[in-house]
Structure 1
């Protein structure tokens, strides 16, 4: 199936022509192959994506084609003439751009503001450990948006990046910007999004708030965990030795793409990171029943530490009291990791509380035994 879309955008400084071709391959499982190209007076864009992941783009500044493909897939090539084809399409695009300016100079500009704007970290926050903030914007037209980052009120550019706009099925666009950072207690970050349809930028605030336990609980918890972890360490050592080429996810988050409104369609995103090898399996439930309709999952994406990240999505319409869950299976896990999300309150994980409780219990048993023998020893003296 071939589907061609032409969008003409007129702005004060930028006029963009964007063409997309959507192909569905004839395989056992259908895949979406998307070709995007466009131009302006000073810039151009040409790229191919597969199932939402970028597999080829033309770098017009360096004069070459780039294949940003992970090493675990079979290499996909578009032939030696791919970059030359991109150059030819740029010339055609700029010629059409000139004609479009003449023909559309009095036509009102179509412009839609973002319908969703979220800011979150890819991994669970640990003070002093490098992490990544993701500012995701969706539902806007035309593309692109402009994203600005701040830290404690000051503009940040180092460690930032932004992907090319990705077309949604409703002809709007999505785009994500990333900021690599090292969290410190009390730091505050913001992501501001500008678009021609907005009278002022949309801003989301994210601050570093890691609760520090008091000295007393920390001592008891530390003693208990030390005793408990001695036993856990031996089992972990043999588990790792027996499965050296496999390790479980280090992060598992479940969140809604947009702010929740009852009766308004939304998307739940289950993001998993830090696992090896790829992929993971993701299962969805609604009110305890398995859900498959409206679900999707992208291909695994390699991280810098050679682990992988992967996201699954569930399109849903929130109703009061509904409860959803996302369960993740991986060869390194003895049982699936599960996150719960309900329409009223998102339920936090209980893993750290369980470990701390077990550690304190074991520690107190050791203290009780030591006190008993100390008293018995004094009775004999």
Structure 2
């Protein structure tokens, strides 16, 4: 993906929503962002390729600003969430993840605090990734050691969070993406799609299945008609199915896409039964790859059909994922409850039994939420995380 505006720029390559490489224009380097479980990979000339793509983007942006004169730049406010990368243990190293998504345009500003003090300099910020609706998502990570009473906040600022009567007319963003779609392992059904997206509008794209450009706006239709007259350009684009898509897909299969990482699974009691109130168990799977996973419950060796809720697979922003499944039930003497996890890293479903001897809920508590804070004229979405030691009997 190549993205450029009057003030921001990004060139990155990814797979299934994960970042593989990106170009740092400040240091003039190409950086590989593959996870530890991936096989080594080199990409010589990455910075030069990114520099060339950015130059094309900037040139196209200037022309499109004229074509779409007086168009108001769309703005979408980010939706923020904050969660730890692993099970919370007081005094043990962990990582806080602040994930903000559905925003447009980039950039966002992120600020972290610990007990009211700014700790942003200890955090990292990922590149922004495209969503299917042409908005973006991004991650910020903060290493931390949870201690009793600590309060952490992640505050996200974005121009769409300004006060309602504030309007912003300046600023435009052009995104040039290259998508490779396939479902067969032999890559025989590979399709190459290259959309050109200006201010969230896909105005024209090349489709390898059709073998031509297709326009979706007046400007896009005009460009498609002109570009489709250039037979040499069409042949170059069609060749990208082999040169760009299949070639890169084969490389990705060998380096990362065929790799698997087993989840770390923990079953714990998060709420005791109290009178007519049900007890609640949570089965958490952390740090697994690939994303697809299935979590179910057994009660006395029979699958539980109701009383369950689950998060979706939550990205950690570093190729790993986590998921949390809850089971509400009324405890009975002598029963056996288990969590069953199915994942590509396992040869068979793995069963994790709940140990009733660990009947007390965890001593540490994590609360996650979001609120609005007015900072000058900017309305910021803020997430917070709070640890409090439970008193006995709670």
If the length of structure 1 is used for normalisation, what is the TM-score? 0.49
Q: Which has the larger radius of gyration?
A: 1
If the length of structure 2 is used for normalisation, what is the TM-score? 0.47
- Richer in helix (by share): 1
